Amino acid sequence: MDNDEIVANLSSSAYTLVNDNLLRGLGGDAYQAIILAKLLSFFNYFFTTKQLTPDGYFYQTVDDIERMCGITECRQRTAIRELEIKNLVSIRISGSPPRRYFRLHTNNITALMELPNKKFTGMTKAEKKEQQDKFYAELNPALVFSWKLTKERGGNIPRKLLWFMFVWQDYMKTRGGFVWTPALYGELRTYWRGRYSVKNMDYNNLNRFMIESPVPKTIYNFITFDRTTPEAPYDNRLYYNEMEIEGERYEE
């Protein structure tokens, strides 16, 4: 194939158009811009073929976007979470088997594209709180249901930390349940970054806390317990990638 054929193929084959103002409004984040451009294309298809849900949602899978753009599940999750925070898209998981549905906030997308020299900041504090409440309202049932659904609804929570939340919830099923909130997650994240940024957690400590410690099973009490309890010898430690819950093992 000569150079002219290569150029012709690249010009005529599948491609993604990303508006310059869209890219600039998203602070130059290529992943966000490409995914939003793809979602706009999908929205147009579902709209013209009259396949949108009554409230304006359409579905698109992780695999579809990865196949078309090469953007991995982890990067999709992070970028889409940022688009949600900016109030450009809404996402929900529904159906059996679960499907990922999107709704585009076209007025906000238009506003973003009309700000050629500014980075779009998105939501007010009240809107951000509403978005956080919605995120945890969807995440908490997923943590109880399955690791697969937890990954789908985990947003940009680091995978190791998300696994801890999943394991914690599994322990709490027989202890009256547990509801994660932005404040509780923030408390855990701050501790985790300080203690486990360069090493893995020994889940034996969590097991001992849940079974042996008489204190109430709160995140604050666990942090205190974990901080003050000596780690087991290296060969006796239990790490996330060795654990399995209801047949579901941690996966990178």
The model's pLDDT over 32-82, given as tens digits with 9 standing for 90+, comes to 999 998 898 889 889 888 999 988 899 888 888 888 888 888 888 888 888
228, two tokens: 């003050």
The model's pLDDT over 204-229, given as tens digits with 9 standing for 90+, comes to 888 889 888 888 889 999 999 988 88
Inter-CA distances, 23 with 10, 87, 117, 169, 238, Å: 22, 16, 11, 39, 44
Distance between start and end Cα atoms, the chain: 39
Do 162 and 150 contact (CB within 8 A), yes or no? yes
Q: What is the pTM of this model?
A: 0.54
Q: Pick the closest to residue 112 from 124, 121, 102, 123 (CA basis).
A: 121
The model's pLDDT over 140-166, given as tens digits with 9 standing for 90+, comes to 898 888 888 888 888 778 888 888 999
Cis? peptide before 97, omega within 30° of 0:
yes
The model's pLDDT over 181-197, given as tens digits with 9 standing for 90+, comes to 888 988 988 888 888 87
Do 52 and 58 contact (CB within 8 A), yes or no? yes
Q: Pick the closest to residue 36 from 76, 64, 67, 66 (CA basis).
A: 76
Set out the domains of the chain in order of their start, with CATH numbers. 1-122 (1.10.10), 124-252 (no CATH)
